[in-house]
Amino acid sequence: MSPAASRTASGAMLKSSKTASLARKKIRISFKKLLKRFGRLGWWPAETRDEVIIGAILTQNTNWSNVEKALSNLRNRDYLNLKKLSKINQKRLAELIRPSGFYNQKARRLVAFSNYVYENHGSLEDFFRKDALHLREELLSLNGIGMETADSILLYAADKPIFVIDAYTKRIISRMLGLASEPGYLELQSFMSSAIKSNLEIYKESHAQFVQLAKENCRKKPICASCPLLNLCEYGKNPRTPKTVSK
């Protein structure tokens, strides 16, 4: 099947009225089951908006344990602050965030983001006063800020109710619904937003629950037997169901 045909196939499954209705019901039930299994997770682990943004940029193309090491280096030197990062020597910053990987690139992005906020808006608070749509467009216009990073900043730093789609969510939904391929970011985001009531705390918690499930059960090589969503999952019920694999 060509990539275009695959996208059409997965899109049809998400959009056909009867199938989509059943799929949305599955999502709502799955969230309740995950809450029962994992309890409330309280993600994103940060004390300030600045720390959320820095973490969202550092977590690109790496795992969270590496980000924590970089954040710890910044915290120990009192640099978990965007205003301070707008004035820091870029080479020094790159060395501090080395554990996160791609450290020169990420240092440039952090400095550029910080400079943009303070040169164009004066403060992070003023920047975040914009409505979600315009703020998202502005974030996406910045170098190195893709949709997942932008939406993470919107949800966890700006407190705008927008559903974050990451590789874990794509993997889980594709397997659970038995999709032949992963749907696109915006398509899946629209679907998840229609399945789960638009609510800031619910969006934060549901994203955290999917991340936890991906770490414990829905791995690249899934551990289906102990998965709390086994009876809802097309792949879990029939491992021969086509599946996609993400990072």
In a domain, 245, yes or no: no
SS3 of residue 45 by DSSP: coil
Beta carbons of 117 and 82 less than 8 angstroms apart: yes
Per residue in 87-146, pLDDT (tens digit) is 999 999 999 999 999 999 999 999 999 999 999 999 999 999 999 999 999 999 999 999
In a domain, 77, yes or no: yes
Buried b / exposed e along 123-155 (16+ C-beta atoms within 10 A): ebeebbebebeebbebbeeeeebebbbbbbbbb
The total domain count for the chain is 2
**Mean pLDDT score of the chain, rounded to an integer?**
90
Beta carbons of 163 and 193 less than 8 angstroms apart: yes
Region at 143 (left for phi over 0; alpha for psi -120 to 50; beta for the rest): beta
The last residue of one of the domains, among 157, 192, 209, is 157
pLDDT score of 13: 53
Give me the domain span that covers residue 29: 3-41+164-237
The last residue of one of the domains, among 103, 131, 157, is 157
Count other Cβ atoms within 10 Å, centred on residue 16.
12
pLDDT at 245 over 60: no
Which CATH number fits the domain that encloses residue 90? Answer: 1.10.340.30
